[in-house]
Copies of this chain bind each other. A is one copy, B any other.
Amino acid sequence: VATAPQPDFRRNELLTRDERAAWVGLLQTSASLVRRLDDELRQAHGLPLSSFELLAQLYRAPDYRLRMAELAEHLVLTRSGVTRLVDRLVRGGLVRRLDADCDGRGVYAELTRRGFEAFDEAAATHVDGLRRLFFGRLGVGELERLNDLWDRTDLDPARAREQRLREARES
């Protein structure tokens, strides 16, 4: 059966039913996926998803290191958020801080041997969970369509945010 049409009298400033479903679906899907994957990673390896994602960035970076600001751009975190997260990882021995020799202000976060191993072990759990809970439920070509969608809806969070803060400060 077809879905019922939207009533004509629906007020302009309210979302249609499909829009609301799409918005709530986005929120719920990402949130519950994050929760599940976080649970599984903590259970199996004592590693929170946020830590795992930071390790993943370093794992893929040249020389296994990135600057704090770069990490903030890739993860969905502010700079101070990255500072705290790296603090925890340093305490856990998975990451070390390293002053940038080219720029006295800069600081690198670098994967330690233990951090490398921790990521290596946890990666299997993460990938398995992601394929089971998400990728395995996609149809043919849906992965590509999804990536296309993310490209079109990219808000460039880092840049946009910095810009807004700057504008706000100037006013």
Q: Which residues of B contact A19 (CB under 8 A)?
A: 130-131, 135, 143
Q: Which single member of B29, B76, B127 contacts A32 (CB below 8 Å)?
A: B76
Q: How many residues of A contact B (CB 8 A)?
A: 51
A33 contact set on B, CB distance < 8 A: 26, 153, 155
Q: Tell me the chain A residues, 20-72 only, with Cβ under 8 Å from chain B.
A: 21-36, 39
> What B residues does A147 contact at CB under 8 A?
18, 21-22, 25
Assess whether A100 is interfacial by the CB under 8 Å rule: no
| Residues in A124-154 with C-beta less than 8 Å from chain B | 124, 127-128, 130-131, 133-135, 137-138, 142-147, 149-150, 152-154
A27 is contacted by which of B22, B24, B27, B76 (Cβ under 8 Å)? Answer: B76
Interface assignment of A101: CB less than 8 Å from any CB of chain B:
no
Q: Tell me if A's interface is mostly helix, strand, loop or mixed.
A: helix
> Would you call B145 and A145 a contact (CB within 8 A)?
yes
Nearest to A150 among chain B residues (CB) is: B25
Contact A29 B153 (CB under 8 A): yes
Residues of chain A touching chain B, judged by Cβ–Cβ distance below 8 Å, are: 13-15, 18-19, 21-36, 39, 74, 76, 123-124, 127-128, 130-131, 133-135, 137-138, 142-147, 149-150, 152-155, 157, 160-161, 164
